[in-house]
Amino acid sequence: MDPNDVEELIESELEDAEATVTHARDEHDEDHLAATVVSPAFEGLPLVQQHQQVYDALDDHMTTDIHALELSTYTPTEYEE
């Protein structure tokens, strides 16, 4: 799956999210991705719930188009630090 499409999915589903998605290994390994997601929707949530929100935003793509996702999530304040 194209990283730009994954960014758009995440940003369209999570409140004020900014997502940066790249190929985790190299550009020819399209189903292993790495994502950094910053959103105020993560405020007060444990890391597991933050990641679950991203997985929910990606919906069926996590089982059909994306084999693995290295995920880093931050609130805006955490990201600035």
pLDDT, one tens digit per residue, over 13-28 is 999 999 999 998 776 6
- Please tell me the predicted confidence (pLDDT) of residue 25: 78
Separation CA 53–CA 81 (nearest Å)? 22
C-beta neighbour count of 42 within 10 angstroms: 24
Burial (0-12, 13-18, 19+ Cβ within 10 Å), 11: middle
Separation CA 61–CA 66 (nearest Å)? 6
As for how many domains the chain has, the answer is 1
- Please tell me the predicted confidence (pLDDT) of residue 27: 67
**What is the rounded radius of gyration, in angstroms, for the C-alpha atoms of the chain?**
12
Separation CA 44–CA 25 (nearest Å)? 32
Give the pTM.
Answer: 0.91
What is the residue range of 8's domain? Answer: 3-80
pLDDT, tens only, 27-74? 667 778 999 999 999 999 999 999 999 999 999 999 898 889 999 999
Q: What is the CATH number of the domain that holds 20?
A: 3.30.300.90
